[in-house]
Amino acid sequence: MTTTPATPPPTIGSGHEGNLGEQFTAYFRNLRSGEMGALPALAGFVLLVILFSALSTSFLSPLNFANLLTQAATLMMLAMALVFVILLGEIDLSAGVTSGVTASIVVVLIHNSGVNWIVALIIALVVGASIGAFIGFFVAKVGIPSFVVTLGLFLGFQGLQLIIIGTGGAYRVETPQLVAIMNSNLPIGLGWALYVAAMLIATAIALFDRNRRTRAGVANRPFALMAIRLIAIAAAGGLFVALMSLDRAASRGTLNGVAIAHDPIEGVPIVVPIAVAILWVGTFVLDRTRFGRHLYAVGGNPEAARRAGIKVSMIRIAAFITCSSLAVVSGVFDASRIGVVTAASGGQIVLSGVAAAVVGGVSLFGGRGRLIHAAIGALVIAVIANGLGLLGLPAGANFLVTGGVLILAATIDAVSRKRAGGTLLRS
């Protein structure tokens, strides 16, 4: 019996995955097959920026740009938290009230018990992780749908928040370190130093990855592609720091011929490096750790993941723990920005967090999406709210536009999945 030898696999030790042109060709081929990632959200972001810049002269001012970032920070953090459970095809409707409850715990402990703010924050993080473990246990071990479990907590935690806050109804955030997170800026020199450090770390990681892949005999993408990516990040980051280093205070006017003095507002907002650091760590966990790979595997096909030896239940529990822990950070951001915690804190933001993740390109079907997608989606929603506010339109317009963008994003996700399925069938 004569057999035809199989075609030998391509050599992976050749050192590259094709030239730069081939990489772009592969990218556009993926786009045609439905793998669009955050491209629709990025396109929408650019279009919105152009539109609001044309309609409002103050939209692109340094002051408004800084305000936009602080307005988006709370939603961005909650959206990134939700990514971990959405990747599994699950949902956490209690993430918003978890942020409110834990922020209330922080402020009440400081105000009533004199607890150091760092200790209070650690306690809140432990409470948040415990809430996530509770949800994960009932979802993964008991088998209750995440929608039901988290809906129950969404309702119950609103009562718990009333108990924590008490009859007063509100607590002011008076700890200077907490207030500074959303309301103060880094010194200009420190902002530039962090920018340089971030670029050095990004370059070192990129070179380390290339060297590791080369030593392992795995193909590398073209060096030019890595260089283009780093240059683009450096240019965008440098432009941002330079813009934030300008005096953002209102222009000095004159009153009876005398200049009106003002304190300068300059430097990168403190919340920005905090959010970027969390984004980087979370991306590292999803892209470069076993937990991240297993999370995507479970979200893509739980049964196949189970047969491959992945502990599906533990991955689900860990995802909910991560989500609730990051929700704590979102709650602290919100309390710092508003300057007060109330019994209603965090009650309405969770749906906006889900919307931000979906708008950014995270699939509600699970298995597809990244943290940066949620961050971009949060920026899109923040731009809508900020731009409509500058135009003086009513709040109802904000809800209408945001809802329309969400439906459009969900439609794109569904259509892209159908196209990807059709491509697989044809191949």
Question: CA 241, CA 222: separation in Å to the nearest integer?
Answer: 29
Residue 300 has pLDDT above 80, yes or no: yes
Strand partners, 172: 340
pLDDT of 15 above 70: no
Domain ranges for the chain: 37-184+269-421
Tell me the pLDDT band of 343, cut-offs 50, 70 and 90. Answer: confident
**pLDDT of residue 363 exceeding 90:** no
What integer pLDDT is reported at residue 71 of this predicted model? 86
The amino acid occupying position 118 is I
> What residues pair up with 340 in beta bridges, in sequence order?
172
What is the per-residue pLDDT for 19?
A: 60
When pLDDT is averaged across residues 289-306 and rounded to a whole number, the result is 92
Q: Which residues contact 401 (CB under 8 A, 6 or more apart)?
A: 384, 388
Which residue in the block uniquely carries the two structure tokens 């439905």?
A: 34
Residue 199 has pLDDT above 90, yes or no: yes
Between the alpha carbon of residue 125 and those of residues 120, 134, 179, 323, 330, the distances in Å are 9, 14, 18, 11, 11
How many Å apart are CA 139 and CA 149, to the nearest integer? 7
The residue written with tokens 């057999």 in the block is 3
Q: What is the average pLDDT value for the chain, to the nearest integer? A: 84
Q: pLDDT over 90 for what percent of the chain?
A: 47
CB 194 within 8 A of CB 352: no
Residue pair 291/283 in contact by the 8 Å Cβ criterion: no
Mean pLDDT, residues 389-393:
83
DSSP 241: H
Mean local confidence (pLDDT), 160-184: 88
Planar angle of CA 74, 80, 81, nearest 5 degrees: 90
Residue 397: the pLDDT is 79
Q: How far is CA 362 from CA 134, 140, 176, 275, in A?
A: 25, 22, 36, 19
What 8-state DSSP symbol labels residue 254?
E
CA distance 150 to 323: 12
Residue 43: the pLDDT is: 82
- What is d(CA 3, CA 327) in angstroms, rounded to the nearest whole number? 59
Residue-level pLDDT at 387: 86
pLDDT > 90? residue 38: no
Lowest mean pLDDT among 40-49, 190-199, 265-274: 40-49
pLDDT digit string, tens, across residues 16-35: 455 666 666 666 666 666 56
Residue in the block written with tokens 């995440």:
146
* CATH architecture for the domain at 37-184+269-421: Orthogonal Bundle (1.10)
Give the separation between CA 220 and CA 25, rounded to whole angstroms: 16
Q: Which helix (H) or strand (E) holds 342?
A: strand 340-342
- Per-residue pLDDT of 79-124, as tens digits, reads 999 999 999 999 999 999 999 999 999 999 999 888 999 999 999 9
Q: Tell which residue, 412, 398, 420, 423, has the closest CA to residue 362.
A: 412
- On the question of pLDDT at 1 being above 60, the answer is no
For strands 254-255 and 258-259, give the pairing: antiparallel
pLDDT tens-digit profile of 248-284? 775 445 455 555 556 678 889 999 999 999 999 999 9
pTM, two decimals, is 0.85
CB 378 within 8 A of CB 72: yes
Share of the chain above pLDDT 70, in %: 85
Q: Residue 24: what pLDDT?
A: 62
d(CA 361, CA 258): 52
DSSP reduced 3-state for 357: helix
The token pair that represents 336 in the structure block = 């710092």
